[in-house]
Amino acid sequence: MRQDYQQFVARDTEIVVVGPEDHATFASYWRREQYPFVGLADPQHGVAGRYGQEVKLLKMGRMPAIVLVDKQGQVLHSHYAANMQDYPTNRELWALLDAAQAGRPGD
């Protein structure tokens, strides 16, 4: 997503990455990696819980999840990963965003 960030911006989309670390640890990592998008520490799993992200202690903690939320707070699409490599491609996400902006269902 970092490499294609401008493609998301062009779609009037902001990326927010929610991580399970405490604020200081997460902020340090975020500064070091210089991500262009928003990072949010969520050590109490409040945001993760709100969007149904699974926490599996035997599988490295939180399972990846991608949730597209519109400006009104409505979930447009969600993908809950089966493993740590299970992500939709950026092209798949762009198609969902383009469909949502055109008023077509994306799921």
2 vs 26: CA distance, rounded Å: 17
- The number of beta carbons lying within 10 Å of the beta carbon of residue 89 is 9
* pLDDT tens for each residue of the chain, 107 residues long: 999 999 999 999 999 999 888 999 999 999 999 999 999 999 998 998 888 887 666 656 677 888 998 888 888 889 988 887 888 999 999 999 999 888 865 54
pLDDT given at position 81: 86
What is the reported pTM? 0.79
pLDDT given at position 88: 92
